[in-house]
Structure formats: C-alpha cells, structure tokens
Chain A
Amino acid sequence: MTERSNPTRRNDLATNEADLVAVSVAGHVAHPGFPGLPAEPAEPYRLASDGTPFLLPTYGGIVYNVSVGDRAFGWAADCIHPGVSIHQPDDNRNRGLNVFACVGNRAKVMTGGAAGTVGVVTGKSGRFSEQLIVHLPVEARTSMAVGDQVLVRAEGIGLELTDHPDVSLKGIAPGLLGALRAKEEDGRVSFGVVAHVPPHLVGAGLGLTSQGGSLHIQSTDRAQLAELGLDQLRLGDLVAFEDTDSRYNHGHLRGARAIGVVCATDGPRAGYGPGVAILMTAPGEQLGSFEAPEANLVDLLGIED
C-alpha cells in the first residue's frame, strides 16, 4: 500500500498526540444534487449575487479535473470540491464522518474499481452539503464510481497544543499540525499562511457549527479580492481569518483568529466564495499568523498527484 501523503515535520510544538484514539469513519462517494432549499430559487437555477440565474456544476461527486493545489478562482462552477466528496445518507452518521475526519487523515477506497487506493482528507463542507472532501490520485478517480466506499482513519479530534491551551484545534490531523511552519514567541504560537482575510469578507458559515463544515470567503466584491490578492488563492492554501472566533460556531471578535485551509472553489452566490475548513482558532493574541506563500497542503502533506 502506497502512502499518498508524506508530511515533513517542520515544528517541535508539544502535543498530546500520543493520547489520541484513531477510529474508522466511512462515507460513500456523493452524487451531485440540486436540492430545493430556502437558500436557492427555482430549480435548477441558482442566482449570482447580481441576480443572474446560473446553472453550473456544484459540490459532490467525483471531480476529474480539479485537485488540491489548483486555482480556487475562475472555474465555471459553484463551490466545487476538488477530488472526491463523500457522505453518509443518515444525518447522524454523516455528522460522525464530517466531525471526526480531520484534514490530513489518510483515506482509503474500500470498494469498486479503485479499491485499495490511498488518499488524504483535504477539507469539509457545511450547511446544505455537509460532505467530506478527499484527494485521490487523478488516475484512480477514473476507476471510481459514485457510491464507492471510502474509509478514513480519523485521528485528531481531541488534539491539543500542550503549551498553548488557549488555541483550539479543529479537525486537524497531527501529521498536518507537525508539518506546519510555526513560530513560538512570548507564549504565542503563530503559523504560516498564504493570505489574511479581513473580517468584512467572512461569509457563509458565520453562526454555524465550527466542528466540521466550512467558512466561506465572500467574493461578491471582486475589486476588494484583487486588492488583497485573495483572487490568487489555490485550493489547499492556508489562510487566516482576522477578528474571527471559531471556538464554538464562527463569529466576529476583535483580536480573535481562525486559521483554515481553502477546500472548495469560488462560486457566484452572494455570501459565498472559496470554502475554508477551519483547523484552529483562539479568542485573542494566543494565536498568530505570518505570511508564508508556500503554505499549501500539496507541499505540507507531500501530496504526489
């Protein structure tokens, strides 16, 4: 069995990794759908932020030509999940999958034409989709079918930074945590991120759970995005949300910070934009971030294809 991800250890942060319990969670490759929701107008159209109806591929399914590491903007799509999206039809079990699986955990295809192929969890999605996003090799995807079972070795819930108890870790695998560029200064721990998102561009996901799910960067104001360079983000990039408290739900708090990974592409709907799976948060100065343009999952986890 080939490991598809080989994270390199880049920090010596003390953790309770030795106490973590690794548990199996499984999901099935999701079929794309067009649910009629209070958030959406008449099927099958959705509305762009200017009211234009659009019909574009959206979350779910096996995505053959979008992978972690690719650009997050410019696709003819609405919040596409790169790679393969899995879920459980039962809400309770799906919550188990979405919450317990951590970004950086190993995933393995258990049934179908690509059985035995190993991949890695790269993100999650929230309200109205609630899927787990898994990177699998492009070639393996061509042998897969909707409904195939993917098993995740879930390990990371309960993880703590021993010397930084005010930093809450949210669904990050210990291997990924160890691979991050980090600095410790005056009791504060900081991590390298590609970009910083100001609080007025934090969007869908606010007020919703921060155990699983995602938080979106708002992309309606294109000029703002370009000015901040956010339109250059790639899938897998680490980003920091400023003034954002993600301990229990996501919300505004001056001085708070949430760091996550871009896990879904941009989309045209108001309030939406690239989806970010939150990996850690703190209510104040206990958590910092610094510019690190190379902070992408492909590099951090050594994802091969």
Chain B
Amino acid sequence: MSESLRWNFDDLVEMAVTGQVSQPALRRGGYTPWPDGRGVMLPGMSGIVYNARVGDRAFGWAGDHVEPGVSIANADEQADFALHYLTCIGNEAEVTTGLARGAKGIVTGEHARLLVDFEPEVLEEMTIGDTVQIRTRGRGIRLEDHPEIEFKKTSPELAEAYGLTLEHGKVICPVAMELPARIMGSGAELNAEFVDQDLMSGDRALMAELGIDRMRLGDLIGIRDVDHRFGRSYRDGWAAICICIHGDSVMTGHGPGILTLITGPADRLDFQIDPGANIAETLGIRSAASSGSSSVAMGDAATGGAA
C-alpha cells in the first residue's frame, strides 16, 4: 500500500452492537420461481451455514441467496438498523453467549442480516439465538487527500487490505472481476448504505461468456458508469467498488449480492483486475490449508471478468 494514502483511522469511533443468530424462515407458500415460473424450495438465507464460507464459489449451490457463515439480526428494529448501518466489513465479532462464548469472527457481509465468518469448529458449538457482538469501526472513514471518493462499510482492516495504489492522482483498487452496469438489479430501490444490490444472473449464457459464474464469495468487484453514493444508479463517468456477499439466486432480477464499498468519479477512482482480490485471502480470514480445500482454487476465478 502506498505511503501517500492518508486515512483518518485515528478519528473513527469504535462501538459495540449485537445481534442474535437467526433461524431460517420461509415465506408462506415457500416456492421461489425460476425465470420460467417453475417453483423450487431451497435453503440459503439465515441461520448457521456450515459448508459455504467466504472464499467459496458464489454460483452453483443448490441454494438461493446463500449467506456464508453465521447470519445475525437484532429483534429490535431500531437496534437492527444500528447493526446494519454501523457494522463494517472486516470488523471483529465475538460470541458472547453459549458454548462458543469467546470465539472470534469477522464480518464478511450485510444482507437482510449481518454475515459473520467463524472457523468451522466454532460453528459446531453455536446455536440459533446465540448473541454475537461486533466492535464496529469504520463509519466516517475517508482518505484525507481524496474527498471525492466515498467509502462505505470499510473497516480500517479492510481499508488496508484493499491494496489501493495511486496513479496520476487516481486511486486504483484491485478487483477480482468487473460487472457491466446493465446487469445490476434488485436493490435499485434502496439507499446505498443499506444491504446490497444483486447482479442479475438470469442470462446464464452471459454469466458464462463474461466469466461471472466464476465469482467467489468475498470477491472484490468493479462496476463502471454507476454512482453508488446515495442509491445505486447508472451514471456515465462514475465507478463503484463492491464485494460479493451472498450466493446466486434462481429468481429473475436476482443473483449474487454485490455490496457497495467505494464509489467516486471515474477520473478519481479506478480498478484493475486481480483474481486474488478476495477478502478470504486479503483479510486473512481463511488459512492456506482451509481455503485450499474450497471448491474453487485460489487464483482460478475471474480470468474473463471484463465486460
């Protein structure tokens, strides 16, 4: 990381928020439709997901919107919004109740619930309802010399892990792949500080053509011609850096969840393809041994991600 990138880490306030491990729930009726209307019933959201972890593939699971690791929420709506709005990717979490009390984890995403990664042996000790406390830090984070660039949900640890560089006054972020703006879908109706925006994977041939189907959970993602400051919309000459937080979906207009981390004008913010740009590695979440056993080998993803 370049010496000349000055962060305001010393000014950030660190604050605890809590949530409880959620119970998976299904809508009345239960079915989720494929684009042709065929209904399926699939697991994925909420609860403790034992076998899908950040660093693993985002596509191909027999699941819908698979949330890797442990999904936590707070039953009080206002407290839950604090959980959503204060928590940053890379923040440290700790189990404060139950058999796994004291175990440490790392926040890897924000969906309708917060997603926290724990070592597999910790998951074995956890149960629905256990409280997880997060030391939130990162709201208000900025680069002192680059006020045009806005950071969202970026912990100081993630800020360091981005591997940002400076080229001719432009901040460059390594990303595992690029997505075209025209496939950004569900979530367009929300503000950009709340959860993610799904990429639309319904055009399966396009996913294969662009190599998008090789995306991994935790991949950094670049999108051109979008402004993600106060919502997510098409805007010529802007860019966003995001992270893949949940798995693919069968539903039209849905797909892997892409959460905004950085946005700014394209003459100030750019990205370059680096297949290793995944927080499982860059945040040191998974040891070499465990990530080596994942179904997509490291460095194998996103070789054809450019739109």
Contacts and interface: CB of A to CB of B under 8 A. Distances in A.
A254 B180 CA distance: 13
Given A38-B194, A207-B252, A271-B232, A49 B227 contact: yes
B: contact size bracket: 35 or more
Contact of B229 (A51, A207, A283): A51
Nearest to B39: A248
A208 interface: yes
B37 A221 contact: no
Interface string A221-258: 10110000000000000000001011111111110000
B252 A127 contact: no
Interface string B118-146: 00000000000000000000000000000
Interface stretch (B5-13, B67-75, B92-100, B200-208): B200-208
Nearest to B205: A254
A246 B208 CA distance: 22
Q: Is the interface of A mostly helix, strand, loop or mixed?
A: loop
A270 B192 CA distance: 9
A188 B173 CA distance: 47
Contacts of B180: 200
A65 to B, nearest CB: 27
Contacts of A205: 188-189
A49 B192 CA distance: 10
A205 B233 CA distance: 13
Interface in A22-58: 38-41, 47-51
A38 B206 CA distance: 32
B251 interface: yes
Contacts of A204: 188-189
A: contact size bracket: 35 or more
A253 B230 CA distance: 27
A243 to B, nearest CB: 7
B236 interface: yes
Nearest to B81: A38
A206 B235 contact: no
A199 B182 contact: yes
B233 A218 contact: yes
B178 interface: no
Contacts of A245: 35, 202, 252
Contacts of A248: 33-37, 251-252
A203 interface: yes
Interface in B168-201: 180-192, 194-195, 198, 200
18 contacts: A38-B84, A38-B190, A38-B195, A40-B191, A47-B231, A206-B188, A207-B185, A210-B252, A218-B188, A218-B234, A223-B236, A224-B236, A245-B252, A246-B252, A249-B252, A249-B254, A253-B35, A270-B232
Given A50-B230, A220-B234, 18 more contacts: A39-B194, A47-B191, A47-B230, A51-B230, A128-B189, A218-B188, A218-B234, A221-B233, A248-B33, A250-B253, A251-B35, A252-B183, A252-B200, A270-B191, A270-B227, A270-B230, A272-B189, A283-B35
